[in-house]
Structure 1
Amino acid sequence: MYCVKRIKDDLFWVGGTDRRLALFENAFPIPRGISYNAYLLVDEKTVLFDTVDRAITEQFFENIEAILKGRTLDYVVVNHMEPDHCATLGEIVRRYPEVKVVCNPKTVPIIKQFYNFDIDSRAMIVKENDTFCTGRHTFTFIMAPMVHWPEVMVTYDTTDKTLFSADAFGTFGAMNGNLFADEVNFERDWLDDARRYYTNIVGKYGPSVQTLLKKASALEIHTLCPLHGPVWRKDIDWYVDKYLTWSSYEPEEKAVMIAYGSIYGNTENAANILAGMLADRGVRNIAMYDVSSTHPSTMISEAFRCSHLVIASVTYNGGIFSNMEHFLMDLKAHNLQNRTVAIMENGSWGVLSGKQMREIIGSMKNMTILDETVTVKSALKEDQLAILEGMADAIVRTMNQQ
């Protein structure tokens, strides 16, 4: 049975949700599931904006058939060729053999990599600022390379002021009946997933996102239709402002994230004592994570949110504790920058983790590493509390200076 949502008089959401998938891209936990958004316009010509993941194929085609009511599909616009949005493109072509595929030149080779159908005979190639009329509606196309694949573009409906934004402005999380962001408490229930989606999927490509945001700032946008998550028709500027912050690698909040790697609990204990000292100094926004029990995607997201990071690791096999090293390399891979970092190291004979953590963090852009390093040998001693107090003072001092 079909399940569609009307966005405008002639524009419909024909996507679906998947609550069974455990790992998005086989990498990121999605306990709240994921939505795959596709949109169908019924004008003088019918136009489908992107397709969906194979997991919801049956639902997707039931939705399309319910809206088309026997009409053929004239066009499918491919804004992004990643399989979670184009796994059913081949089936679209099979069911609607006359359909034209609207895409840019970079998209065609990727379609050929995934599919064997003749794309050359049915491709309608568009470039930056090209226009396309379907009857009442006129669309223009804006290239958005590396947000987050090289072929990505977004499509703007100049008639109804709707932006089909590809992976930009998407979020983890399945739909629960409400399609629009103003129908839910987005800041309370969705913002963490939106941040985790952006930082882990798109976060590496901040300059490319900034370029797209600059182009989008010239548009009058009444409706924002991403490929994952709620559709926006109110308070769009609020969400765009989040993207401006995240993509510029500026902290979202004055906050401290403490990430620790501990084997027998001694490094964790030192981290807990530091957190208490920070709280005593008036810091109210403190987040703590055990790198062995927290998925890296959560800590990546929090590192983008917080202004200050405390990295605390035991020495393991002469190096950084393996889960901490993985997290730090992930931070570097996602291009995090502009943070203040404090380092805490531990070891029972050779205390080597601090030097190696400093090297990784120092190789990242615009990272300020505090001089107040704390070195623990096996377990924190009372005579070291003053050193820990000094680290807490330095963190608070630099927070107040920002």
Structure 2
Amino acid sequence: MSMNTPGTRIDDIGNGLYRISTPVSPDTVPGGFSFNQYLLVDEAPLLFHTGLRRLFEPVSRAIESVLPLNELRYISFCHVEADECGSLNEFLQAAPRAEVLCGQVAAMTSVADLADRPPRALSDGEALSLGARTVVWLDAPHVPHGWENGFLFEQTTRLLFCGDLFTQPGSEHAPVSDDVLDSSEQMRRTMDYFAHGANTGPVLERLAALQPQTLACMHGSAFQGDGAAQLRKLADRLCGAG
């Protein structure tokens, strides 16, 4: 993709979480679009999503406005796709102590070969301490897409790094919203990116049962509020009840 972007911004959205967002103009993607990464500051700082390879420079500059790039300890993402891990090796080079966090299927099928350093492959439900916070990996094959897909949940602040769930169209978004479902459903009606597998409903209910208070969405605004309600409404839409 040839990027035509007016600028990358970083916003503190609370509890040590920063949203880095790059708008994509309607000249590049009809209607506009956005790519988000999330920086979670702790004793072992974590970057969730790297962004496209061409976005390494603006994203890295945004991170360095908060902490030195070489202090990154973990880099993670939901599944292997250019906008989620396109600049992974550039970040590994800039942060010599950083480890890649991914699911075991992702490590087996792609990441062990693609990444310049061996990944730390997490099993379903495996927890990892970042210091004051603990993250847990959750396998979620084909939800919304990708056999290797999974999510990362931070237990203390009830933060769900939810990747491509709730993908919102448009290039300009507030850092945080109290409703991401309606906008994301408009996007899905235009270009349905869900696999619609038999496990879609159960996976979304598993996420809802965690009662997340923040949904770190990859495209558009992050959500803060009753994340369980948003996830269950999404499940209703996807599974034919709404």
Instruction: Give TM class, smaller chain.
Output: 0.7 to 0.9
**Structure 2 vs 1, CA of residues 97 and 20 (structure 1 numbering), >3 Å: closer, same or farther?**
farther
Return 5+ residue gaps in structure 2 as ranges.
1-6
Tell me by how many angstroms 1:71 deviates: 5.2
Q: Which letter does structure 1 place at the counterpart of 2:9?
A: C
Tell me by how many angstroms 1:186 deviates: 7.3
Q: 1:173 touches 1:193 (CA, 8 Å); kept in 2?
A: no
**Structure 2 vs 1, CA of residues 36 and 70 (structure 1 numbering), >3 Å: closer, same or farther?**
closer
SS where residue 249 of structure 1 aligns?
A: coil
**Structure 2 vs 1, CA of residues 112 and 138 (structure 1 numbering), >3 Å: closer, same or farther?**
closer
Where does residue 220 of structure 1 map in the other structure?
Answer: 211
| 1:248 maps to 2:236 | no
In 2, the alpha carbon distance for the partners of 1:191 and 1:145 equals: 20
Q: Which letter does structure 2 place at the counterpart of 1:158?
A: Q
TM-score by length of 2: 0.86
In 2, the alpha carbon distance for the partners of 1:86 and 1:71 equals: 18
SS where residue 66 of structure 2 aligns?
A: helix
Q: 1:18 touches 1:56 (CA, 8 Å); kept in 2?
A: no
| Pairs within 5 Å for 1:379-394 | none
Deviating 4+ runs (over 6 angstroms): none
Q: 1:2 touches 1:62 (CA, 8 Å); kept in 2?
A: no
Q: 2:23 touches 2:35 (CA, 8 Å); kept in 1?
A: yes
Pick which of 161-170 and 126-135 moved more: 161-170
Q: Which letter does structure 2 place at the counterpart of 1:41?
A: L
SS where residue 106 of structure 1 aligns?
A: helix
Tell me by how many angstroms 1:112 deviates: 5.1
TM-score by length of 1: 0.53
In 1, the alpha carbon distance for the partners of 2:27 and 2:51 equals: 14
| Pairs within 5 Å for 1:2-401 | 3-20=9-26, 22-23=28-29, 30-31=30-31, 33-69=32-68, 72-108=71-107, 109-111=109-111, 115=114, 117-120=115-118, 123-147=119-143, 148-176=145-173, 178-182=174-178, 187=182, 190-191=183-184, 193-196=186-189, 200-202=192-194, 204-250=195-241, 252=242
Deviations 1:173-220 (A, max 9, x none): 2234x11123x8974xx35534336x6111x32423212112113212
In 1, the alpha carbon distance for the partners of 2:27 and 2:149 equals: 25
SS where residue 62 of structure 1 aligns?
A: helix
In 1, the alpha carbon distance for the partners of 2:186 and 2:105 equals: 30
Q: Which has the higher helix share?
A: 1
Q: 2:89 touches 2:116 (CA, 8 Å); kept in 1?
A: no
Q: 2:207 touches 2:231 (CA, 8 Å); kept in 1?
A: no
Tell me by how many angstroms 1:85 deviates: 1.3
In 1, the alpha carbon distance for the partners of 2:180 and 2:192 equals: 23
Identity of aligned residues (%): 24
Q: Which letter does structure 2 place at the counterpart of 1:133?
A: S
In 2, the alpha carbon distance for the partners of 1:192 and 1:70 equals: 36
SS where residue 37 of structure 1 aligns?
A: strand
Task: Report the count of equivalent residues.
Answer: 234
In 2, the alpha carbon distance for the partners of 1:118 and 1:235 equals: 39
Q: 1:13 touches 1:37 (CA, 8 Å); kept in 2?
A: yes
Where does residue 353 of structure 1 map in the other structure?
Answer: none
**Structure 2 vs 1, CA of residues 239 and 186 (structure 1 numbering), >3 Å: closer, same or farther?**
closer
Where does residue 339 of structure 1 map in the other structure?
Answer: none
**Structure 2 vs 1, CA of residues 228 and 70 (structure 1 numbering), >3 Å: closer, same or farther?**
closer
Higher relative contact order (CA 8 A, sep 6+): 2
**Structure 2 vs 1, CA of residues 241 and 221 (structure 1 numbering), >3 Å: closer, same or farther?**
same
The structure that has the greater radius of gyration is 1
Q: Which letter does structure 1 place at the counterpart of 2:126?
A: D
**Structure 2 vs 1, CA of residues 237 and 195 (structure 1 numbering), >3 Å: closer, same or farther?**
farther
In 2, the alpha carbon distance for the partners of 1:191 and 1:46 equals: 29
Q: Which letter does structure 1 place at the counterpart of 2:122?
A: V
In 1, the alpha carbon distance for the partners of 2:206 and 2:193 equals: 21
Tell me by how many angstroms 1:124 deviates: 1.1
In 1, the alpha carbon distance for the partners of 2:206 and 2:88 equals: 28
Return 5+ residue gaps in structure 1 as ranges.
24-29, 253-402
SS where residue 14 of structure 1 aligns?
A: strand
SS where residue 136 of structure 2 aligns?
A: strand
